[in-house]
Amino acid sequence: MTSIVEWYKDLMYNRCAPLTQDWFLVSEIGPLLVILVSYVYFSTSAGPRYMKDKKPYELRNLMILHNFSQVLLSAYILHEGLMGGWLYDYSFYCQPVDYSDSPTAIRMAKAVHLYYMSKLIELLDTVFFVLRKKNRQISTLHVYHHTLMPICAWIGCKFLPNGHGTLLGLINCFIHVIMYSYYMLSSIGPQMNKYLWWKKYLTTLQLVQFTIIFIHSVQLFFNGCNFPKFIAVLLVLNSVIFIYMFGSFYIQTYIKDEQRKADKRNTTMRNDALNNKAE
Among left, alpha and beta (phi > 0; psi -120 to 50; other), residue 57 is beta
The H or E element that residue 175 is part of is helix 167-188
CB 81 within 8 A of CB 173: yes
Separation CA 14–CA 8 (nearest Å): 10
CA angle 4, 9, 11 (to 5 degrees): 95
**CA 126/CA 119 separation, integer angstroms:** 12
Q: Name the phi and psi angles at 147, rounded to 5.
A: -85, -40
Reply yes or no on whether 145 is catalytic.
yes
Catalytic residue among 79, 142, 145, 176: 145
Give the span between the Cα atoms of 231 and 95, in whole angstroms: 13
Q: Looking at the annotation, which residues are catalytic?
A: 145
